Every structure is written in structure tokens, then in C-alpha cells.
Amino acid sequence: MADLDEARRAKEELKAALAGRAGVSGIGIAPDDDGYGLLVRVRGDAVTARRLDVPTHVHGVAVHVRTTGPVTAQR
């Protein structure tokens, strides 16, 4: 149940904590039950995602992990 400002602060902290970890392809803010949460995209499968040891919450803001394929820029 975090508001947008809380989610933004938590996102910056999570970005710093996950900086340099291979497999993390993106960190964003997403609507959650009654407010906002964080969404971490990781390349690979669920096993890879668990190995990254992403926290479930950052200062009360929920963190969700989703696996994805390769991320490339579109033209």
C-alpha cells in the first residue's frame, strides 16, 4: 500500500542494491493492490530469479520479480 513517492524512493534504493547483478534487465514501478509496488525483470527462468536474491519488500514497498527474455531497443 505504498504511494507513488514511496515507490520512487524504494526504486532508487533497490536499483543501487541490485546494480551490477548479471541477469537484472529492468526495475520499474507498477500498480499494486492499493497503491504501487516495484517490478524487477530478470533474464532467464525462475531458478535464475531466485539466485539473484531480490528482496520481497523495500521499506514496506512490495517487490515482484518476473522473468523475461532478452531485452532490446526498438527503432
How long, in residues, is the chain?
75
Q: Which residues contact 67 (CB under 8 A, 6 or more apart)?
A: 41, 42, 43, 44, 45, 46, 48, 49
Summary mean pLDDT of the chain? 90
Contact 30, 5 (CB under 8 A): no
Q: Is the pLDDT of residue 71 over 80?
A: no
Confidence of residue 3 (pLDDT cuts 50, 70, 90): very high
Higher pLDDT, 19 or 45: 19
Confidence of residue 46 (pLDDT cuts 50, 70, 90): confident
Beta bridge mates, 58? 61
What is residue 63's predicted lDDT score, i.e. its pLDDT?
A: 94
What are the pLDDT digits (tens) for 52-67? 889 999 999 999 999 8
Q: Which residues contact 56 (CB under 8 A, 6 or more apart)?
A: 62, 63
